Amino acid sequence: MDLRLKTRIRYAYTARESRPPAPTTQGPASLSVASIPVLALLPDVIHIRASAADPDLADTVRLLGRELARPRAATAVLLDRLVDILLIQVLRAWLDSGTSPDISWWGVLRDPLLYQAVTRIHEDPARDWTTASLAREAAVSASTLNRRFLAATGETPGAYLTRWRMTLAAKHLRDTDATLEAVAEKVGYTSVYAFSRAFRRERHLPPEPTGCCQTTVPAA
């Protein structure tokens, strides 16, 4: 049995047997790896050959097929969990196969040191992080962290920190009624001026609150 994961549309598996392919589960999957946009990095289809599949992966596929073929109480809940497990197992098999493309974030996911550094940034983006303080969290030297981070992602830890902060800031500005001062503080800036400069430099436009609770004052 070979497994094909259609990452953009749905999850599917096909069996090399005389019977028709098993039904397909549709809908979004929930996978968050340190909030890295993993799914956006995937090809449209991942193909795992049966000969290379881990036994646990085959067991998950069989269980998924049985639930789809004979729905019972709480099948929908179980399918949600199985699809998440299946996705992770497929990604593991794909990465282990050596056929995955050279995409920078795979380096982060596969390197425990870099994964820990990125996770700490995501857990506390407002902290006054430096390469040295992140390196202490990972128990390595600053030069080692900087070298490995740059090799894996093409940017320094500091550059990634700024980019992630601006991503969060844009979300706050879009989805809440927070002021610029509040947003700047949430992402680690004590100065609105410094925050605005960083935001404009990173996103090429000024930070402006556009949340649903913002109101426009009518002209007099």
Is 125 exposed, middle or buried (CB count within 10 Å of its CB: 0-12, 13-18, 19+)?
middle
> What pTM value is reported for the model?
0.57
All domains of the chain, ordered by start, with CATH? 2-97 (no CATH), 107-203 (1.10.10.60)
- Alpha-carbon distance 194 to 204, whole Å? 15
Predicted pLDDT of residue 115:
85
Each residue's pLDDT tens digit, 86-114: 888 887 777 776 655 555 666 777 788 88
- Alpha-carbon distance 48 to 86, whole Å? 12
pLDDT tens-digit profile, the chain (220 residues):
555 555 443 333 333 333 333 333 333 333 343 344 455 455 667 777 776 667 888 888 889 889 899 888 988 888 888 888 888 888 777 777 665 555 566 677 778 888 889 889 988 999 999 999 999 998 999 999 999 999 888 889 999 999 989 988 998 998 888 999 999 999 999 999 999 999 999 989 999 877 554 444 444 3
Chain-centre distance of CA 147, in angstroms? 23
